[in-house]
Amino acid sequence: MAPPLSAMGGLLVRQPDGWRWRDGSPEPRVRDLTAAQAFEFPRVRSIDPTTGAVAAYVSISRAALDEDADLLADVIAFAGARAIAVGGHRGTVEVPEEVWDVWASDRVIGLGWEPSDEAGILARAESLGARFG
């Protein structure tokens, strides 16, 4: 089992009930950032290799896949045979739109907060030992 997702050098940890500071106190000002929110890949039309019909796909660039190797492994495992490699090993991977939308909306990859909460969140992190700048 993978370790829980964390941020700020482990000061914030995602738990089943939300984000918590290292000391266990909840941090309600932060929210999950999903792959659907973080990545805006182009939507394209391609031939579905399983049906031969034209279908809507999300085209994931090789640059994005190189930046996050886990992204490629996870989304291909989820899409299975419906993922299409385009342009060889340096090209893109296309995933059916409906598969991507389900996977990406459930995949938490980080956290976010409102700009108005930033100073308070950073102050709390510093009180737990974080050093910024």
Read off the pLDDT of residues 75-94 as tens digits, 9 standing for 90 and up: 888 888 778 877 766 678 88
Q: What is the pTM of this model?
A: 0.76
In whole angstroms, give the CA distance from residue 19 to residue 108: 12
The CA–CA distances, whole Å, from 87 to 26, 41, 94, 100 equal 46, 17, 11, 20
Most confident listed range (24-28, 53-57, 85-89): 24-28
